[in-house]
Amino acid sequence: MKNILKKALQRILFLLAKAVLNKYNPKVVGITGSIGKSSAKEAIFAVLKNNWRVRTNIKNYNNEIGLPLTIIGEPSAGSSLLGWLKIFLEALRLIAINDKMYPEILILEMGIDRPGDMKYLIDLVPADIGVVTNISAVHLEYFKSVEKIAKEKSQLVSRLKPGGWGILNIDNSYVQKMKDEVNGRFLTFGFGAEAQIRAGDVDLSYRGNKIAGISFKLSYNGAVVPVFLPNILADHLVNAALCAAGVGIILKMNLVEIGEALRNFVPPLGRMHLLAGVNGSQLIDDTYNGSPEATVAAVKVLGKIETTGRKIAVIGDMLELGDYEIAGHQLVGQAILDNNIDLLVVVGERAKIIGRTAGDAGMKNILNFADSLVAGEYLLKLVKPGDMILLKGSQGLRMERATKLLLAEPERAKDLLVRQDAGWLEK
């Protein structure tokens, strides 16, 4: 019965959202990828928000229920029948009248878990501009191979609206191959010479002993402008800025205007946020989720940062990797070694593979915990001034609980960390 009701709700939301789209015909920027979707969404919003009425996904609403709710402009009603009725009435209101405040542009993150998910989302809302951030080993439990993930996600650009644009990460081999599938024109972005929109001379800058942000040179079509991203500390977040630059270029913005707007780009909570920790430490909070490629990228950032104390990596299980589970965790273990991490703390049964990989190669300082809270409580006794601590893992590990324990201002957790609403805190 519960499944029947969910299917009925999905169908009603699909039809209402489709009718809203047909009435207002907003320009749609669709974003997909294995990692980097939410950061790209926020960067694109930062670039566009001063020139157009723009809406992005409400919270992390990027699936068959969340996307229609974003189109309608209402949060989920959960288990409240009255709440869902109000949502239906709001959709009918939008359809019946001409709401002059309805967004001109929708920036929609499109997430998939299983085969068929992307088709459903594109049937609802095909994109004018389709952005593909990255394809890597995520959700392999359901797709079995990265090639199948790429095939599923490629529908975003193969089914663009007439006259549409694709924006593709040319540094990723799976995304690069999508050039031949784009239904329309495309731009490529990346760090390599082949990229049409390119970041060069990327540099992490400091003010005293504090990280100030990342600077780089943004190049397109022979023009070059300097860009500074305050409080951004990860090279891989520059990709989000390049995605946003691509959207701005397509919408006829100039590079100077784009560069200035990107100063306002702030990644979502739980994505490489630098936070003040207890006892004069600093935390890199990357606890929203975890995959091998994203975790390796985060470890590389930790390895590169200048600090007066130790570099500590606190890594939880990476889930839904299917047959790639062992190799994916081993990859992270090797990255720990390659980036001169002083102390490795692993959380969960699968993450022990990370510890074994590092330990077998000679690393001595490795701690194992079954639970993120226990790990956080233990770390409280160890943290020293100047320590830089990276925290990362899949959602199921709730690594943000360890971050909260290590915050210099835990009373601000609701503003600083992911999953701090009542529903999550009760789990």
Residue 427 has pLDDT above 80, yes or no: no
Phi first, then psi: what are they for 315, rounded to 5°?
-120, 125
If you average pLDDT over residues 111-115, what whole number do you get?
Answer: 91
Task: State the pairing for strand pair 223-230/210-220.
Answer: antiparallel
Q: Taking residues 403-414, report their average pLDDT.
A: 96
Full-model pTM:
0.95
pLDDT given at position 1: 67
Say which range, 56-60, 132-136, 239-243, 354-358, has the weakest mean pLDDT. 56-60
How many CA within 13 A on the CB side of residue 260? 6
pLDDT at 140: 81
What pLDDT sits at residue 17?
98
Provide mean pLDDT across the span 13-34: 98
Decide if pLDDT at 74 tops 70: yes
Q: What is the mean pLDDT of residues 189-206?
A: 96
Give the pLDDT score at 138.
Answer: 80
For residues 6 and 254, which has the higher predicted lDDT (pLDDT)? 254
Q: Which residue, among 366, 389, 380, has the nearest Cα to 311 in the 3D structure?
A: 389
What angle separates helix 2-24 from helix 117-124, to the nearest 10 degrees? 40
**Residue 188, pLDDT score:** 98
pLDDT value, residue 6: 87
Per-residue pLDDT, 390: 98
CA dihedral 273, 275, 277, 283 (to 10 degrees): 20
Distances from the Cα of 180 to the Cα of 145, 166, 168, 249, angstroms: 21, 11, 11, 21
Confidence class of residue 5 from pLDDT cuts 50, 70 and 90? confident
Query: 363-404, pLDDT tens digit by residue?
Result: 999 999 999 999 999 999 999 999 999 999 999 999 999 999
**Domain spans, the chain:** 2-191, 273-422
Upper half-sphere CA count for residue 70 (Cβ side, 13 Å): 26
Average pLDDT over residues 206-225: 93
CATH topology of domain 2-191: UDP-N-acetylmuramoyl-L-alanine:D-glutamate ligase (3.40.1190)
Q: Taking 90 as the threshold, does the pLDDT of residue 125 lie above it?
A: yes
pLDDT grade for 27, boundaries at 50, 70 and 90: very high
Question: CA 216, CA 189: separation in Å to the nearest integer?
Answer: 14
Reference 87, options 142, 38, 15, 158; nearest CA is: 15
Average pLDDT rounded to a whole number, residues 120-132: 98
Q: What is the mean pLDDT of residues 220-242?
A: 95
Q: What is the distance between the alpha carbons of residues 115 and 143, in angstroms, rounded to a whole number?
A: 7
What is the average per-residue pLDDT within 122-150? 92
| Superfamily of structural domain 273-422 | Mur ligase, C-terminal domain (3.90.190.20)
pLDDT of the residue at 226: 98
Q: What confidence score (pLDDT) does residue 207 get?
A: 85
**All residues at 6 or more sequence positions from 368 whose CB lies less than 8 Å from its CB, including other chains:** 345, 346, 351, 352, 355
2 has pLDDT over 80: no
Residue 239 tokens, joined: 């990709």
Between the CA of residue 127 and those of 29, 34, 60, 137, 201, what are the distances in Å? 6, 18, 19, 25, 32
Q: What is the number of residues in the chain? A: 427
Over the chain, what is the mean pLDDT?
95
